[in-house]
Amino acid sequence: MNYSPITALVVFFGVSILLFFIFRPKKGIFFLVKKIYQQKDKTIIEDILKYLYHNQIANNTITTNDLTNTLSFSNAMIIESLNKMMDNELVVLEKDNYKLTTKGNEYALQIIRAHRLWEKYLSEKTGFHKAEWHERAEKKEHELSVVEIDKLSSLLGNPKFDPHGDPIPTSKGKIAKIKRGVPLSSLKENTIGKIIHIEDEPDIIYKQILAENIHLYSTVRVIENNTTRVIFHSEGEQFILAPIVAGNITVSVLEKDEVKEDDITRLSSLLLGETAKIIGLSKECRGENRRRLLDLGFVKGASIAIDLLNPLGDPKAYLIKGTSIALRKNQASKILINKNKNGK
């Protein structure tokens, strides 16, 4: 073959495009083949169990159609799996509705335990962004054995709640009653509540909530609530959400004299010249980050002020306990403060 620079370029770009289509994230041929290979019976059975469990808690009845419509497996595979599950006494059919047996219930709880523990692990011990936790846990839950799950649990100090605020079932299959809360969208104006759960499904709504920087366990006060939007204050910031998005945030209503919501703001809103007392770290500040901040002295009661502004805006240096520590804005937004009213 004769060399010409144009042929060389064409061959190069041809190979690059080919490689792109094979290894493109998620949609690449390589990943699609891998996914088909991984769609084992076990995965389908476990996904059906989980689906039935969640609906049983919510008192919904589930028919074959519901399953084939919601789960992303072929109908034939789902029906085959359902038959297998009935043979193994995991589910029973009552008037077209599937019900979990005690054995099925226990199995479902083990999967949920694996899922929530893995999310907890991702949040505490890795650097994956929280938007990725759920999807990764959806895969990992089918791969962990019971022994591995128990090991994971003790590695994490036997946590009781996952990073979204959901309780983690114990190894014996016990689970706490879900805390009674109401959707944020149902709160009347001027009600004060505490966010106790942020639902991570469906993905689109969860990502919207994440983009807003709303923090779990923060106190909220509803300013406006109508059919088009919900406006509320939390940690000194104002948030505007569509009611359908606000419906995925669960809050427990607090009595008015129990807390003073207005006093709490985020460190990121502190201005040069102002001083403040630290109230604590937000629950969203996790793992290594949290320990580091505590080590540096960002603890309840410490007084704090801005030491230096940055020529590019971020990070800012804060004066705490006589030391100047620079923090980025997303870190400062997870430190809660109470501004001193009279300046110094």
Contacting residues toward other proteins, per CB under 8 A: 3, 5-6, 8-9, 12, 125-129, 157, 159-161, 165, 167, 170, 174, 176, 217, 280-281, 283, 287-290, 292-294, 296-297, 299-302, 307-315, 317, 321-328, 331
Q: Residue 151 and residue 155: Cα distance in Å, rounded?
A: 6
Min separation Cβ 197 and other proteins, Å: 11
Q: Evaluate whether 221 touches 238 at the Cβ level (below 8 Å).
A: no
Min separation Cβ 73 and other proteins, Å: 28
Nearer to other proteins, 244 or 309 (CB): 309
**β-pair type (249-254, 237-241):** unpaired
Min separation Cβ 7 and other proteins, Å: 9
Min separation Cβ 126 and other proteins, Å: 5
Min separation Cβ 98 and other proteins, Å: 29
Nearer to other proteins, 114 or 327 (CB): 327
* Four-residue CA torsion sign, 239, 240, 241, 247: positive
Number of neighbours of residue 77 by Cβ within 10 angstroms: 15
Nearer to other proteins, 46 or 115 (CB): 115
**β-pair type (335-339, 275-281):** antiparallel
Min separation Cβ 118 and other proteins, Å: 13
- DSSP, collapsed to helix, strand or coil, labels residue 100 as strand
Number of neighbours of residue 113 by Cβ within 10 angstroms: 24
Q: Where are the beta strands (DSSP E) in the chain?
A: 91-94, 97-100, 182-183, 192-198, 219-225, 230-234, 237-241, 249-254, 265-266, 275-281, 303-308, 316-320, 323-327, 335-339
Q: Evaluate whether 264 touches 279 at the Cβ level (below 8 Å).
A: yes
> Dihedral angle at the C-alpha atoms of 136, 139, 141, 143, nearest 10 degrees?
-120
Nearer to other proteins, 205 or 216 (CB): 216
Min separation Cβ 264 and other proteins, Å: 15
Nearer to other proteins, 25 or 227 (CB): 25
Nearer to other proteins, 48 or 293 (CB): 293
**Does residue 183 have a cis peptide bond before it, meaning omega lies within 30 degrees of 0?**
no
Nearer to other proteins, 92 or 294 (CB): 294
Nearer to other proteins, 86 or 317 (CB): 317
Min separation Cβ 246 and other proteins, Å: 22
Which ranges of 161-317 does DSSP label H, i.e. alpha helix?
Answer: 203-211, 243-246, 287-295
